Each structure stands twice: as structure tokens, then as C-alpha cells.
């Protein structure tokens, strides 16, 4: 049986009809990880024993009549999400040996539903980056061209899925860290409405923007995972948004009733011509299907990266203050308390983390908070208001996900500004707390994936995912061969 590139929906059908066991599917992925992940470096830890046990338990439940959902489905999770009894490093030397004492809420819900955790995925250190080159444990490579980046910061989660190491994966998206690597690796990457998924057990980075997201091969698969992990949580006061899940996921769309916004600011001069051509082609296809395409304006789009950078760095400096090496984490020590703090953090943090800590501390310092952090929060509020106004005219927004396709490893790693601009088309939706999903829309001439983005109204995540699936069905993108197999 050919198990390559199974969607969750396909795997579900095979498991429920007893044509495949969870243990067989789990062994398939574990063998691929063992054989091929040395090329990709997508995973920091592979839990062979735990995955095998979970698969056997799932098979027991399947044999006794259970089925559906994610029962018996293998997945990989970003290594800034806590998993009890396993290391959670956040891609940092600071937490290289940290073993989580409890499961994140998303992990406990997936475990209860019978999903099979295979591995912990590589990431930019503390999720600070757009290329997964900032990991203390080496960069992740793009499965479609090993000399290219996979995007970031959830690059390990996206690359593992694209390399066929799992059926779905989880990442975190603050300013685009699920959608960016999904776009560069040719998979679906979804950021939920803020407050739809509990962040309990996510290593905090930027608390007013952080969200746990889902990566899969189809938007329908994302919706299946969402039905398990979304919902209020007593451990996270921000997880208060209740999404109405459909009784049945149905991607059949009456396009004549759909209005899709085409924001001019997302198609500016910095956009790669091949990316623009693919988006224009999709716009024309949807128009031919009967959708109404509405030109709209979001003039504050260009301020998104600046506002995001200030908010992110300020909140990073606050959240990462707890990592001092005293209670847990990397220890160097010193002759006094101050020297101990300095040594532990200097040696435990990488360059990008230090950069954002210093800038964020400055943004919050006496006399500067009004000029930077408060001003950025004001811009954030106005951007959200701007989106709200546009959504009185349209149902969804169709945009590029990234300005370019994947770029070579090492080219931008020492140019932080260019890396920050990688998220220029992704940060506005984050700032407005909107749901957004990156979907694969084609391939460039060099065989690298191109991604588009659909943005929806807050709280209408499932409707947005169904439209995204309908677009996937219309354009029918076929995965390319992986060059290292």
C-alpha cells in the first residue's frame, strides 16, 4: 500500500475501514524520520517508544468500535509546546535539557482523542525568526531544495509535513510563523482567531499575539484537528472565543454568494512576479466560478511590520526575563548574582534572541514606552479597525502569503531587517487577531512552492477553512517529487 503524502482524511478512511493500523502508519513515519531527517533536520527529538505505545492504544480503541477525528493519526509538534516527560527546548541552548512537567492543553486534548505524537519539531530559537536558521541545534532545510530555507519560525513543523514525516503538525504563529513556512514548503498553514485555541503550555513569546496553529495537507484536515483542540480552557483566560464547528465539513461553495477582497497594498512593488502571476490566475479562476472580486484598500498594511516588531520585542523582553538559569535552564554561574545572570543569559541565548531582548527592553524603558510600545498598540488598534471596515464590503481577503519563494540558507541570516520583512504580508492579520490560512497555489520555474493567503473575519474560522479547501479543490496542486528520495 502506498502511504506517501496521505491527507488526514485519507488516513482516517484507511484506519476506520481496517485497511491500515495506526501502528503500521506510525512505523511508516518513524522509519522515514530515521532514514531521511538527517537531510532536513526537521525534528529535535523522535519519541519512538511513546509513539509506538500511543499507536497500539489507538489500535485497541479502533478494534473496539471507536473511530473518527484524529484517533490513531500521527503528528509532530513544534518544540516550544510542552509535552510531559519529553524535552521542550524552544530551539534554545537555554532549555537544552528542560523536560516539561505537564502537557500543553492542545497536547492533552490530542492525546485524549488518540492522536500519536511522533516528534518535536525544530524552530527558530524561542520562535524568533523567519527561516529556522536561528535554532541552537542547526538549521532546518526546505524539503524541495535542501539549500533553501523552509521559512520560520515553525520551519521544522512545515518541513516535516512536506517531507512526509507525519499526517499533520502543530506550530505557533505570532506574526506569521505558521503561514510563512507553510507557504515556503507547499502545505496548508492556519493561524486561528486570537483566543480560539488555548496557549496553556506554549512557551510565551509575545502574549498579545501568540497563537497555536495547525499545518496539514488540506484545509479540511486543519478543520478536523481544530474540532479537537479549539475551545475554552480554564488554564488560559484568553481562550474564550467559541467557534461554531459545522456538523459536517463541507467544502462545496456557492461562489456566486462569495465576495473576495483584493487588497492593492498586498500587491506592491516588492512582490515576486511569479507569486503575483499565480495569485492573479486564481483570482480569474474564482471570478469565472462566479465569485465577486472586490478591489479594496488597507493603507496601514505598510505599518504592520513596524508595529509588530515593537510589540513583539517589548513582550519578548518581558516574557524571556524568567529564563535566568537559576530555577531551570542553562547554567554557567559567576562570582556574584549579577555575574551569574549575565553569564547564564549571554551563553544560553543566541544572537537574534539577544537582539530582540535589548531592543524590547529599550522600547519599554523609562521615557520610551509612550513613544514605542504604546504607539505600536495604537497602530495595532487602527489596523484592526481598518480590517473591520473592509469586512463590511467583502467576506474574505485573498493575498500572497510571502513576497517571494524560499531563499538560500545563509543569505539573510545576518540581515535581520530583510528577515523581518518576510512577514510583511502576514503581520497585519495577526495584529487584527483575525484567522488566516496559507495554502499552496503552485510552483515557480525552479520547482519551489508558492503560497497564497486567505484572511477571514474573527470567529469565522471554519467558514474560511471551507473556502480555502474549495480553492484547493479548484486549483488542484499536485506535490512535486522530493529530490533526496
Which tens digits make up the pLDDT trace of 286-307?
Answer: 999 999 999 999 999 999 999 9
* % of the chain residues with pLDDT over 70: 99
2: confidence class by pLDDT, cuts 50, 70, 90: confident
Question: Does 250 have pLDDT greater than 90?
Answer: no
Closest CA to 191 of 463, 433, 477, 452: 433
The one catalytic residue among 43, 153, 206, 424:
153
Q: What is the mean pLDDT of residues 118-133?
A: 97
- Mark whether 153 is an active-site residue: yes
pLDDT at position 389, please? 97
Q: Is 177 a catalytic residue?
A: yes
Q: Which of 312-321, 361-370, 375-384 has the lowest mean pLDDT?
A: 361-370
pTM comes to 0.96
Between 14 and 244, the more confident residue is 14
In this predicted model, what pLDDT tens digit does every residue of 374-402 receive, in sequence order? Answer: 999 999 999 999 999 999 999 999 999 99
Phi, psi of 454 (to 5 degrees): -115, 130
Nearest residue to 156 (alpha-carbon basis) of 225, 91, 93? 91
pLDDT for 448 equals 97
pLDDT in tens, 181-201: 999 999 999 999 999 999 999
* Ordered DSSP codes for 213-275: EEEESSHHHHHHHHHHHBS-BTTBTT--PPP---SS------GGG-EEEEEGGGGSTTS-HHH
Residues 6 or more apart in contact with residue 338 via CB below 8 angstroms = none
**Is the confidence at residue 21, as pLDDT, over 90?**
yes
Task: Give the residues across from 46 on adjacent strands.
Answer: 119
Categorize the per-residue pLDDT at 248 as very low, low, confident or very high, splitting at 50, 70 and 90: low
Instruction: Report d(CA 285, CA 222) in Å as an integer.
Output: 24
> Which pLDDT score, from 0 to 100, does residue 365 have?
86
Catalytic entry in 78, 120, 412, 457: 78
Cα–Cα dist 44/135, whole Å: 10
pLDDT class of 366 with cuts at 50, 70, 90: confident
Catalytic, out of 43, 154, 177, 206: 177
143, 139, 217, 103: which is closest to 411 by C-alpha? Answer: 139
Give the chain's domains with CATH numbers.
1-485 (3.90.1300.10)
> What is the rounded distance in angstroms from the CA atom of residue 119 to the CA atom of residue 165?
9
78, pLDDT greater than 70:
yes
**pLDDT at residue 327 in the model:** 86
Q: Is 418 a catalytic residue?
A: no
Amino acid at each position: 500500500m502506498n502511504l506517501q503524502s496521505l491527507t488526514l482524511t485519507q488516513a482516517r478512511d484507511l484506519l476506520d475501514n481496517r485497511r491500515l493500523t495506526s501502528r503500521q502508519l506510525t512505523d511508516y513515519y518513524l522509519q522515514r524520520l530515521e532514514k531521511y531527517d538527517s537531510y532536513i533536520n526537521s525534528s529535535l527529538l523522535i519519541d519512538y517508544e511513546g509513539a509506538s505505545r500511543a499507536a497500539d492504544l489507538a489500535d485497541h480503541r479502533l478494534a473496539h468500535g471507536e473511530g473518527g477525528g484524529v484517533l490513531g493519526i500521527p503528528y509532530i509538534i513544534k518544540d516550544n509546546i510542552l509535552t510531559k516527560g519529553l524535552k521542550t527546548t524552544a530551539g534554545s541552548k537555554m532549555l537544552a535539557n528542560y523536560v516539561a512537567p505537564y502537557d500543553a492543553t492542545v497536547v492533552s486534548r490530542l492525546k485524549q482523542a488518540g492522536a500519536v505524537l511522533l516528534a518535536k519539531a525544530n524552530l527558530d530559537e524561542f520562535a524568533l525568526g523567519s527561516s529556522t536558521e536561528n535554532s541552537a541545534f542547526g538549521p532546518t532545510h526546505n524539503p524541495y531544495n535542501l539549500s533553501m530555507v523552509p521559512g520560520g519560525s515553525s520551519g521544522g513543523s512545515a518541513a516535516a509535513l512536506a517531507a512526509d514525516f507525519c499526517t499533520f503538525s502543530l506550530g505557533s504563529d505570532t506574526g506569521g510563523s505558521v503561514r510563512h513556512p507553510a507557504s515556503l514548503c507547499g502545505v496548508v498553514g492556519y493561524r486561528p482567531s486570537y483566543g480560539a485555541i488555548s496557549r496553556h503550555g506554549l512557551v510565551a513569546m509575545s502574549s498579545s499575539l501568540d497563537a497555536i496553529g495547525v499545518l496539514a495537507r488540506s484545509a479540511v484536515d486543519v478543520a478536523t484537528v481544530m474540532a479537537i483542540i479549539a475551545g475554552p480552557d480554564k488554564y488560559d483566560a484568553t481562550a474564550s472565543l467559541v467557534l461554531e464547528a459545522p456538523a459536517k465539513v463541507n467544502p462545496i461553495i456557492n461562489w456566486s454568494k462569495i465576495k473576495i477582497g483584493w487588497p492593492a497594498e498586498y500587491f506592491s512593488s516588492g512582490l515576486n512576479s511569479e507569486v503575483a502571476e499565480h495569485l492573479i490566475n486564481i483570482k480569474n479562476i474564482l471570478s469565472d466560478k462566479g465569485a465577486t472580486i472586490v478591489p479594496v484598500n488597507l493603507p496601514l498594511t505598510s505599518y504592520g511590520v513596524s508595529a509588530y516588531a515593537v510589540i513583539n520585542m517589548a513582550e519578548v523582553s518581558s516574557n524571556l526575563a524568567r529564563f535566568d538559569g537559576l530555577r531551570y535552564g542553562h547554567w554557567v554561574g559567576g562570582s556574584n548574582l549579577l555575574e551569574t545572570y549575565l553569564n547564564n543569559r549571554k551563553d544560553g541565548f543566541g544572537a537574534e534572541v539577544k537582539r530582540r531582548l535589548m531592543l524590547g527592553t529599550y522600547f519599554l524603558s523609562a521615557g520610551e514606552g509612550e513613544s514605542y510600545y504604546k504607539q505600536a498598540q495604537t497602530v495595532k488598534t487602527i489596523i484592526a479597525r481598518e480590517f473591520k471596515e473592509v469586512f463590511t464590503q467583502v467576506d474574505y481577503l485573498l493575498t500572497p502569503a510571502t513576497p517571494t519563494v524560499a531563499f538560500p540558507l545563509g543569505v539573510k541570516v545576518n540581515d535581520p531587517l530583510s528577515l523581518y520583512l518576510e512577514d510583511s504580508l502576514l503581520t497585519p492579520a495577526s495584529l487584527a487577531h483575525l484567522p488566516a490560512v496559507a495554502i499552496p497555489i503552485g510552483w515557480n520555474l525552479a520547482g519551489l512552492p508558492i503560497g497564497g493567503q486567505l484572511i477571514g473575519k474573527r470567529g469565522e474560522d471554519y467558514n474560511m477553512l471551507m473556502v480555502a479547501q474549495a480553492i484547493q479543490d479548484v486549483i488542484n496542486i499536485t506535490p512535486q517529487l522530493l529530490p533526496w528520495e
